[in-house]
């Protein structure tokens, strides 16, 4: 049971580490100490809806068409490889920085609206949560809900660290090289997960 939870946690945490507009926004809100709690809450609630939609949907597919598991598995392998290569490319060409200078603090309503847009208008979030996490969870059979819970826990932990630990992380993410290191770690992790999934481990 714990290994299934840990597997979901590891996959989700690796996926969400990838640098993106949503993560950068939460980090910047943390740096400003502006509406951090509500922003993190919206991110976690959105992740819950997306992840458990994927777990439920792919569970139904697995029961009605067992052969689809193999299709899902290899689609997941391809996606992880592509994701990993993209992260490694970003690591080699990193130009991302984190600056809040000259940026006015948003109202709570504007901050929440921005969070929703960055979350739900991003096509990658559906591939990550509904697609990949849902597909991998289906391979765990009845344990897929435990897998999904582990995945959600990782997302919530990550957003809490990102929002409330921003002041500690600020010096690190002030330089492009720091983002390159993070992207490099993400890339290697993604490729490792692809190999593991391909081998059925």
Residue 77, in any domain of the structure: yes
Distance (Å, whole) CA 95 – CA 156: 27
Distance (Å, whole) CA 53 – CA 150: 15
Residue 24, in any domain of the structure: yes
Q: Band of the pLDDT at 102, cuts 50, 70, 90? A: very low
Residue 84, in any domain of the structure: yes
Instruction: Give which of 181, 185, 155 is closest to 84, Cα–Cα.
Output: 185
Residue 129, in any domain of the structure: no
Is residue 134 classed as helix, strand or coil in its secondary structure? helix
* Domain count along the chain: 1
Distance (Å, whole) CA 123 – CA 129: 10
Whether the predicted model's global pTM rises above the 0.75 cut: no
Which range of residues forms the domain containing residue 20? 2-99+153-198
Residue 141, in any domain of the structure: no
More confident residue, 103 or 91: 91
Residue 12, in any domain of the structure: yes
Residue 9, in any domain of the structure: yes
More confident residue, 93 or 176: 93
In this structure, the dihedral spanned by the alpha carbons of residues 28, 120, 178 and 11, taken in order and rounded to 10 degrees, is 130
Residue 176, in any domain of the structure: yes
* Residue 20 pLDDT greater than 80, yes or no: no
Distance (Å, whole) CA 40 – CA 102: 23
């Amino acid at each position: 049971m714990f290994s299934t939870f840990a597997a979901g946690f590891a996959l989700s945490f690796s996926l969400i580490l990838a640098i993106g507009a949503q993560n950068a926004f939460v980090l910047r809100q943390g740096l400003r100490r502006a509406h951090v709690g509500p922003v993190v809450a919206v991110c976690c609630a959105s992740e819950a809806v997306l992840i458990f939609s994927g777990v439920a949907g792919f569970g139904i597919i697995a029961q009605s068409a067992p052969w689809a598991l193999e299709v899902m598995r290899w689609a997941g392998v391809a996606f992880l490889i592509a994701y990993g290569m993209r992260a490694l490319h970003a690591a080699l060409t990193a130009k991302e920085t984190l600056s809040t200078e000259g940026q006015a603090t948003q109202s709570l309503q504007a901050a929440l609206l921005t969070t929703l847009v960055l979350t739900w208008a991003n096509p990658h979030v559906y591939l990550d949560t509904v697609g990949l996490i849902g597909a991998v969870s289906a391979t765990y059979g009845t344990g897929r809900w435990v897998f999904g819970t582990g995945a959600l826990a990782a997302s919530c932990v990550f957003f809490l660290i990102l929002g409330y630990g921003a002041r500690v992380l600020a010096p690190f993410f002030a330089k492009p090289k720091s983002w390159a290191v993070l992207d490099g770690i993400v890339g290697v992790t993604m490729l490792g997960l692809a190999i593991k999934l391909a081998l059925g481990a």
